[in-house]
């Protein structure tokens, strides 16, 4: 199912299926300046194909490798639309990452993108590296309109679960750097329009710093992941169980431990 809504100078395309809604998920792509940002997930392929035929965007910009964003790149290529994605994202998509069963049920199975495709560049919009959510995660910045397409950078202030491959320390850097762009308008791929974006980005960075510090202290004291998770983040909730641990509080603690040395001075947004 695809819902199309106009928010100021941006068209928000919200996609969901019966399955994704059962798990409480939808995801949005955005059309702005005739450019589509992200492509939705494989199970809405028919809807996205119809949308592309109807709107004929000048090109597509992809923020990162996850299947709810890169899920219809194959359709974009079939339509011979130029697209832009970072080398990290393209590398991650080839061969198509085999997502966990839970993710395949929610979103569908990802296709490998084509070997070659027409490259797309847009003067008004910059694809900026903002790692943390994933290594290849990017945001799209429209400087003239002071509008940030934050993809999965924000998601919410207090997100206690993480998926494998997240780096909370890098995420803090990226959030601060995005706030420093001073966006007036921000679109989140799951929440849509976020009011007061600079405050929201900094509030999330503040909260993450607190959580990471609390976890670091317990790791230094010799605590194990299970105990630290319980103490700092609480018991796993619904999503932790149904995802088989793919999206869990335990992953958050694991990610903090895994980045204990490497992550602290890691490269942040745009570096
Ligand atoms: Zn993502």
Domains and CATH numbers, the chain: 1-122 (3.60.15.10), 127-270 (3.60.15.10)
CA 72 to centroid of ligand 1, rounded, Å: 14
CA distance 147 to 144: 8
CA 166 to centroid of ligand 1, rounded, Å: 10
Query: Which of the pair, 268 or 142, is modelled with greater confidence?
Result: 142
CA 50 to centroid of ligand 1, rounded, Å: 24
CB 117 within 8 A of CB 82: yes
- Of the ranges 125-139, 154-168, 196-210, 238-252, which one carries the lowest mean pLDDT score? 238-252
24 φψ region: left (φ > 0), alpha (ψ -120 to 50), beta (else)? left
CA 66 to centroid of ligand 1, rounded, Å: 5
CA distance 232 to 100: 26
CA 27 to centroid of ligand 1, rounded, Å: 10
Query: Which of the pair, 3 or 243, is modelled with greater confidence?
Result: 3
CA 145 to centroid of ligand 1, rounded, Å: 24
The predicted-structure confidence for 112-145, as pLDDT tens digits, reads as follows 767 777 788 888 999 999 999 999 999 999 999 9
CA 122 to centroid of ligand 1, rounded, Å: 23
Q: What's the whole-number average pLDDT of the chain? A: 89
The pLDDT assigned to 186 comes to: 98
CB 219 within 8 A of CB 256: yes
CA 248 to centroid of ligand 1, rounded, Å: 14
- Give exposure, 79-114, as e/b (b: 16+ Cβ within 10 Å): eebbbbbbebbbebbeebeebeebbbbbbbebbebe
User: If pLDDT is split at 50, 70 and 90, which confidence band does 249 have?
Assistant: very high
| Torsion angle of C-alpha atoms 108, 114, 119, 123, degrees rounded to 10 | 10
CB 137 within 8 A of CB 151: yes
Phi (first) and psi of residue 22, to 5 degrees: -60, -30
Is pLDDT at 13 greater than 90 in this prediction? yes
The pLDDT assigned to 119 comes to: 80
User: If pLDDT is split at 50, 70 and 90, which confidence band does 262 have?
Assistant: low
The pLDDT assigned to 267 comes to: 45
CA 137 to centroid of ligand 1, rounded, Å: 8
The pLDDT assigned to 38 comes to: 97
């Amino acid at each position: 199912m695809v819902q199309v809504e106009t928010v100021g100078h941006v068209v928000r395309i919200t996609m969901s299926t019966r399955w994704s809604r059962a798990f409480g998920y939808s995801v949005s792509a955005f059309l702005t300046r005739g450019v589509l940002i992200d492509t939705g997930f494989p199970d809405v392929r028919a809807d996205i194909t119809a949308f592309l035929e109807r709107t004929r965007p000048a090109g597509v910009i992809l923020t990162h490798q996850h299947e709810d964003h890169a899920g219809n790149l194959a359709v974009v290529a079939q339509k011979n639309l130029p697209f832009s994605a970072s080398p990290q994202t393209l590398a991650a998509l080839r061969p198509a990452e085999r997502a966990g069963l839970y993710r395949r049920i929610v979103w569908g199975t990802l296709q490998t993108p084509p070997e070659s495709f027409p490259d797309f560049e847009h003067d008004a919009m910059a694809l900026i590296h903002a790692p943390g959510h994933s290594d290849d995660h990017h945001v799209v910045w429209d400087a003239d309109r002071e509008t940030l397409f934050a993809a999965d950078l924000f998601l919410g202030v207090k997100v206690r679960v993480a998926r494998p491959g997240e780096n909370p320390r890098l995420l803090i850097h990226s959030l601060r750097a995005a706030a420093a762009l001073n966006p007036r308008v921000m679109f989140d791929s799951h929440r849509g329009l976020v009011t007061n974006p600079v405050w929201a980005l900094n509030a999330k960075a503040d909260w993450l710093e607190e959580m990471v510090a609390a976890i670091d202290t317990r790791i230094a004291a010799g605590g194990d992941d299970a105990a630290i998770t319980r103490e700092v983040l609480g018991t796993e909730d619904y999503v932790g169980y149904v995802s088989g641990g793919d999206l869990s509080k335990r992953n958050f603690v694991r990610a903090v431990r895994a980045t204990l040395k490497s992550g602290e001075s890691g490269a942040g947004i745009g570096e």
